[in-house]
Chain A
Amino acid sequence: SQELEQSPQSLIVQEGKNLTINCTSSKTLYGLYWYKQKYGEGLIFLMMLQKGGEEKSHEKITAKLDEKKQQSSLHITASQPSHAGIYLCGADPIQGAQKLVFGQGTRLTINP
């Protein structure tokens, strides 16, 4: 079965600093999703990547999927308190099946 490993598990950064979260898959990724979760709440969709080498940006968040489609990174530029939360990567383990597998999450804290 497919497994997703996120690193780091937690991250504390100073406001205004850049940061990167990685998501590595044990198998080829057919679709890679990034979500953000505030503690105890639902998941907010950030971005979806499908093609090897694909890169998407939204405001100060950029996500990339490597050429071999087994690793993705999420980069936040000039972090703000609003970026704090838990970031989760999710993947479709089987092409055509709607059953996401998730990483364990990265807890991001922004210090003022």
Chain B
Amino acid sequence: KAGVTQTPRYLIKTRGQQVTLSCSPISGHRSVSWYQQTPGQGLQFLFEYFSETQRNKGNFPGRFSGRQFSNSRSEMNVSTLELGDSALYLCASSWRGQGAGETQYFGPGTRLLVL
């Protein structure tokens, strides 16, 4: 079974631009979560989608948004990029997203650099 895939793997943008990252979950998985990883803040939860609906959300500004398609693929968008948005963005998928006892499997990440 193929793992979680993320595209692109690397991205360079300038301040003020917007960016869209894509995530394809493991086949059969319906929950997709997004995380941001930075040296200063570590790994932080952004949001989680299940059946095309955002079900959980972390403490990030509205510039960070996402969506999920009927095939469970997900995209996240960051508008009006800031230098502090430079990070590794990780996507994780799980079968139903039921929390305790259900493992999330992570993709390789998209490294975003904002200049």
Contacts and interface: CB of A to CB of B under 8 A. Distances in A.
B contact face: mostly helix, strand, loop, or mixed:
strand
A42 B55 contact: no
Interface range for B: 20 to 34
Given A30-B100, A50-B101, A102 B43 contact: yes
Nearest to B88: A40
A42 B108 contact: yes
Contacts of A56: none
A23 to B, nearest CB: 13
Contacts of A90: 43
Contacts of B31: 98
Contacts, number: 75
Interface of A: 30-31, 33, 35, 40-45, 48, 50, 88, 90, 92, 94-105
25 contacts: A30-B99, A30-B100, A31-B100, A33-B103, A33-B104, A41-B109, A42-B4, A42-B6, A42-B108, A42-B109, A43-B90, A43-B92, A43-B106, A45-B106, A50-B101, A92-B99, A92-B100, A97-B56, A97-B99, A98-B50, A98-B55, A98-B94, A98-B97, A98-B102, A99-B48
Interface of B: 4, 6, 31, 33, 35, 42-45, 48, 50, 55-56, 58, 88, 90, 92, 94, 97-109, 111
